[in-house]
Structure 1
């Protein structure tokens, strides 16, 4: 399976996200973590998965001049897509509260793109999950932001945290995609890479 296929490869997971690292570990592959600093800017006319595809590829290209022949780098990017706009990571408490108020009593898409890159090949793919939120009170939102500090999370929330337990009424698609890594899709793409 995967272990056999990639036994001669050095896999680099280019993510500082503890959630992605935890999920990737479950694939049973040996890997190291290395994150290159990339300015995550994209053309303003991109929409939905075009944004995450662009950013995942941008992150992978930052490894272009340092990859050895037996190395595979895996990069990813996640956004929350609501009313034709991307909600990225909130910059402060006020922005986090504003984002969660926008998500309250609505459904939105969580889009994650992944790029697999070696010196010879490159593949970008994405997954989407629809998340339904109940109506959240300002008190619930403020409690969550004050206690969980979701400033490193797209859309200002982690589904695996308190707000997910009390606020998410339904999801359509992969739960792990909402956490930032659609493991089922990554597994399939690695098998076919």
Structure 2
């Protein structure tokens, strides 16, 4: 990575940190509380991209000239419904009950923002197929793995991913919260190189 630019990751997600680390890109974590509401007229991928750009805007005034902030937001869509992070265990159980036995889409929106105002916003989509699950399986997962911090109330890298996900169309890492193939490609355009 050139010394000219420093990458900031604006995410509390351990999965995003793990993925960036495994890419071999040095970064610093910087966190702010940002409202995650969005206009109701937005549709699927637009929601993820809007939220990623909205999060980046919160850092715009604080960026140093050599800093680029990376923000991301992952959403789960069942048909036209956006399933965000569940408010509690009961909502998590309701979400997983809806998802079981069906296919759904996971969108991760990503924003790169530089201090000079340069901005790149993109998203990636993965189709996830769940097998039918029993109520006992759903409750076991929610009560033991506490997926309240995850869109759609599940993490593909968790127990439920091992027992429920039968097929993916698209990037597995996108479902984890960061489409690293696209992030790598876009960061190279910005001048970041890990090799």
TM over 0.5: yes
Partner residue in 2 for 1:36? 32
Q: Which of 126, 144, 160 is matched with 1:147 structurally? A: 144
Question: In 1, Cα distance between the equivalents of 2:178 and 2:75?
Answer: 12
CA RMSD of aligned residues (A): 0.8
d(CA) in 1 for partners of 2:134 and 2:115? 50
- Give the counterpart of 2:156 among 131, 156, 159: 159
Q: TM-score, normalised by structure 1?
A: 0.96
Moved over 4 A (4+): none
Secondary structure of the residue aligned to 2:147 is coil
Aligned mates of 1:40, 1:93 — CA distance in 2? 20
Long gaps (5+) in structure 2: 191-195
TM-score normalized by the length of structure 2: 0.95
The offset of 1:8, in angstroms, is: 2.0
Secondary structure at the counterpart of residue 148 of structure 2: coil
The equivalent residue for 1:95 is 91
- TM superposition shift of 1:7: 2.8
Residue of structure 1 aligned with 2:68, choices 72, 88, 95: 72
CA distance in 2: counterparts of 1:35 and 1:22, whole angstroms: 16
Q: Which residue of 1 aligns with 2:8?
A: 12
Alpha-carbon distance in 2 for matches of 1:112, 1:65: 24
Q: Equivalences for 1:114-193 in 2 at 5 Å?
A: 114-120=110-116, 121-193=118-190
Aligned partners of 2:100 and 2:140: how far apart in 1?
15
CA shift, 1:14, in A, is 0.3
Q: Give SS of 1:191's match.
A: helix
Task: Figure out how many residues of one structure are paired with residues of the other and give that number.
Answer: 189
Task: Quote the Cα distance in structure 2 between the aligned partners of 1:60 and 1:35.
Answer: 11
In the alignment, structure 1 segments of 5+ residues that lack a partner are none
SS in 1 for 2:168: strand
